[in-house]
């Protein structure tokens, strides 16, 4: 499957704080917890090595300090004019040449060997690892602390927590429908329940048709999709996948999936749905507002 250029696929997060606490409790815990000890001088030159990392930095107001961003962050206005440092496997020489005193990476959106080399060179590296919306809040707090912006991070966590709660309430107000989050059309790849996309689907008030036994990002047959029989299909839209979806949905095999043949397909920007950053909350809000005929 040709992977979306900025799609960051998380691993499962069972046993973590995100898995044990409810979202509201987590938000309150992050707001109330004392900030750990921080180096005395806040970083002045920051490089982001994943689109989600750049999104978090910009949401925290750190754009003036960001000197390098990943290649695929063009949808973020603050990225304009910043040095590009590559994609999943970044250009390490370029990164080092920018003389950063902080590098923010994604556990699943940045090559681990690459950022470990940066650590070995003595650079300060912060790793984000949000595999759920709650995990995104943890990442905001973690990056905010590294920036010396604990209060700004607390305010952002509070604002996002309130928006998530409001969206969840909206989703609960409608009859619960069965949904499929389709990440790629041919071969079909779906988002399982233990992914950040699956977390958004659930919090928006839908039942994910993908069984837990299928795994996180299963590639499935059209017959299986027809048997799952979702009421609604949710898909991302990016410059890279638009043609693929248009071509695939013209295939007669997709008529087996009633939601597609009936036009019950919700399209969200891939930069919202496929990226574990603060704007994932906007994807939740949009889905929570969907009414299934």
The pLDDT of residue 277 is above 90? yes
Residue keyed to tokens 């071969």:
187
Distance in angstroms (rounded) separating the CA atoms of residues 47 and 220 = 38
Band (pLDDT 50/70/90 cuts) for residue 264 is very high
> What pLDDT does 21 receive?
46
Backbone angles phi, psi at 73, to 5 degrees: -125, 25
> What pLDDT does 255 receive?
86
Do residues 258 and 293 touch, judged by C-beta distance below 8 A? no
> What pLDDT does 88 receive?
94
Q: In whole angstroms, how large is the CA radius of gyration of the chain? A: 19
Per-residue pLDDT averaged across 264-283, rounded? 96
The pLDDT of residue 212 is above 80? yes
> What pLDDT does 204 receive?
98
Per-residue burial over 45-69, b if 16 or more Cβ lie within 10 Å, else e, is: ebbbbbbbbbbbbbbbebbebbbbb
* C-alpha to C-alpha distances, 7 to 89, 94, 163, 182, 237, nearest whole angstrom: 14, 22, 23, 13, 12
Do residues 105 and 88 touch, judged by C-beta distance below 8 A? no
The SS3 of residue 100 is: coil
Equal CATH topology for 17-168 and 174-288:
yes
**203: preceding bond cis by omega (within 30 degrees):** no
Per-residue pLDDT averaged across 172-194, rounded? 95
Domain covering 17-168, topology: Rossmann fold (3.40.50)
How far apart, in Å, do the first and last CA atoms of the chain sit?
Answer: 31
Residue with the larger pLDDT of the pair 230 and 37: 230
Backbone angles phi, psi at 224, to 5 degrees: -65, -40
Do residues 259 and 248 touch, judged by C-beta distance below 8 A? no
Q: What is the DSSP secondary-structure string of 206-236?
A: EEE-S-GGG-SS-B--HHHHHHH--SEEEEE
Alpha carbon 42 to chain centroid, angstroms = 26
Q: How many CA atoms lie within 13 A of 163 on its CB side?
A: 20
Percentage with pLDDT > 90 across the chain: 81
> What pLDDT does 149 receive?
97
> What pLDDT does 158 receive?
98
Band (pLDDT 50/70/90 cuts) for residue 2 is very low
What's the pLDDT tens digit per position in 19-66? 434 555 555 555 555 554 455 689 999 999 999 999 999 999 999 999
pTM of the model: 0.86
Q: Which residues pair with 125 in a beta bridge?
A: 103
Domain ranges of the chain: 17-168, 174-288
What's the pLDDT tens digit per position in 72-131? 999 999 999 999 999 999 999 999 999 999 999 999 999 999 999 999 999 999 999 999
Structure tokens at 170: 């909206």
DSSP letter at 189 equals: E
* CATH code matching the domain that covers 174-288, chosen among 3.40.50.300, 3.40.50.1980, 3.40.50.2300, 3.30.70.270: 3.40.50.1980
């Amino acid at each position: 499957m040709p992977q979306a250029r900025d799609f960051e696929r998380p691993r499962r997060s069972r046993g973590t704080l995100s898995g044990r606490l409810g979202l509201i409790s987590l938000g309150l815990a992050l707001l109330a917890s004392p900030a750990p000890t921080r180096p005395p001088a806040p970083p002045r030159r920051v490089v982001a090595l994943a689109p989600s990392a750049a999104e978090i930095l910009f949401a925290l107001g750190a754009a003036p300090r960001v000197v390098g961003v990943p290649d695929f962050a063009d949808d973020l206005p603050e990225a304009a004019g910043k040095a590009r440092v590559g994609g999943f496997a970044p250009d390490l020489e370029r990164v080092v040449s920018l003389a950063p005193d902080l590098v923010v990476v994604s556990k699943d959106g940045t090559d681990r060997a690459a950022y470990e080399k940066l650590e070995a060179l003595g650079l300060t590296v912060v790793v984000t690892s949000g595999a759920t919306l709650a995990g995104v809040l943890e990442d905001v707090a973690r990056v905010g602390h590294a920036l010396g912006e604990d209060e700004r991070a607390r305010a952002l966590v509070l604002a996002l927590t309130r928006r998530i709660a409001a969206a969840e309430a909206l989703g609960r107000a409608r009859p619960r429908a069965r949904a499929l989050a389709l990440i790629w059309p041919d071969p079909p790849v779906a988002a399982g329940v233990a992914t950040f996309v699956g977390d958004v689907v659930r919090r928006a008030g839908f039942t994910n048709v993908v069984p837990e036994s299928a795994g996180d990002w299963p590639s499935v047959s059209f017959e299986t999709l027809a048997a799952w029989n979702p009421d609604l299909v949710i898909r991302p839209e990016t410059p890279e996948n638009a043609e693929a979806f248009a071509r695939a949905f013209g295939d007669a095999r997709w008529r087996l999936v009633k939601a597609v043949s009936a036009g019950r397909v919700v399209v969200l920007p891939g930069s919202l749905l496929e990226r574990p950053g603060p704007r994932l909350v906007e994807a939740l809000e949009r889905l929570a507002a969907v009414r299934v005929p």
